[in-house]
Amino acid sequence: MVFGVILAGGDGQSMEKAKQYMLLGSKPVLIHTVEKFYIHERLEKILVLCPQKWLKDTQEMMEKYFPSSQGRIVLVKSGDTRNETIRNAALYIEGHFGLEEDTLLVTHDSVRPFVTYRIIEENIEYGLKHGAVDTVVPASDTIVYSEDGTGITSVPKRSMMYQGQTPQTFHAKKFLELYQKLSEEEKSLLTDACKIFVLNGEKVYLAEGEIFNIKITYPYDLEVAESLMIQ
């Protein structure tokens, strides 16, 4: 089974100020993102993980925008960190559907609403074939590596540099197995799910992203997103 996992754990002082709930055009960013997953028939369920305090409001929002979803969209409480949130998703699936070796999670930032059908499709396809997938675009800027933050340690070859986006796709069972082996300190350092796979010697396949698959992090990003819309 393949599950969409929308990571909407971002906290804010109020729901209106949290990026995933801000309006892009006439709809919250989160709704745009869930819509992209909703039309993918291969996704059994779409898990939306958000803070406990906004679970009820988010549930109502989903009922408003997806009135005929018939339980396909499921709200689950997010964790304190990104990986804890993914863990919650995996544990929810384990509890409700059981985990098989090939149960696949297509995890995605709720604040990347410009993800395309092709990117999700290729994540599913490569995930089923290779096990783990990260979505990337070739780095357009030169990447500078600095160990002390004051001077350049090295300048890696740009043609080998990529910028990570989402979705990130992997087997739920494998993720839980690797994550549970980590010490608390390692857990706090390993903020990227794919990095956990790489450090354990697991091959992570690259899927081609899109430059416009931007993450809406700052007010500036929302302005950029608005400017991409046909008026």
Partner 1 sequence: MLNAVYRLVAPRRFEVEFNDISLKAGQIIVRPTYLSICHADQRYYQGARPIEVMQKKLPMALIHEGVGEVVYDAAGTFKSGDSVIMIPNMPKEKDSIIAENYLRSSKFCASSTDGFMQEHVALDMDRVVLLDSSIDKTVAAFTELVSVSVHALRRFDMIAHQRREAVGIWGDGNLGYITAVFFKAMFPESRLYVFGVHQEKLSQFSFADETFSVTDIPADLLVDHAFECVGGDASQRAISQIIDHICPEGVVSLLGVSEYPVPINTRMVLEKGLRLFGSSRSGREDFLKTVSLYRSHPEVVGYLSNIVGAQIEIRTIADMNRAFETDIHKSIGKTIMIWNK
Name the residues that contact partner 1, by CB under 8 A: 24-27, 32, 35-36, 38-41, 65-68, 113-114, 116-118, 208, 210, 212, 228-230
Structure tokens at 10: 């971002």
- Residue number with CB closer to partner 1 (34 or 194): 34
Q: In angstroms, what is the minimal distance from the CB of 206 to partner 1?
A: 14
Which of residues 198 and 214 has its CB atom nearest to partner 1 in the complex?
A: 214
d(CA 136, CA 139): 9
Distance CA 174, CA 178 (A): 6
Rank residues 32 and 174 by Cβ distance to partner 1 and give the closer one.
Answer: 32
- Which of 116, 188 has the CB closer to partner 1? 116
Taking the C-alpha atoms of residue 226 and residue 58, their distance in angstroms, rounded to an integer, is 23
Query: Which residue lies nearer to partner 1 by CB, 196 or 225?
Result: 225
Helix (H, G, I), strand (E, B) or coil at 35: helix
Query: 138 has which bridge partners?
Result: 162
Query: What are residue 135's DSSP bridge partners?
Result: 207
Given a contact cutoff of 8 angstroms between Cβ atoms, the answer to whether 158 and 206 are in contact is no
Tokens of residue 57, six digits = 């409001």
CB of 112 to partner 1, least distance (A): 10
Q: Are strands 162-171 and 104-109 parallel, antiparallel or unpaired?
A: antiparallel
CB of 200 to partner 1, least distance (A): 31
Distance of closest approach, residue 134 Cβ to partner 1, in angstroms: 18
Least Å distance, CB 32 to partner 1, is 5
Minimum distance from CB of 33 to partner 1 (Å)? Answer: 9
Enumerate residues 6+ apart whose C-beta is below 8 A from 158.
139, 142, 143
From the list 147, 136, 148, the residue with the least C-alpha distance to 205 is 136
User: Between residues 69 and 81, which has the closer beta carbon with respect to partner 1?
Assistant: 69
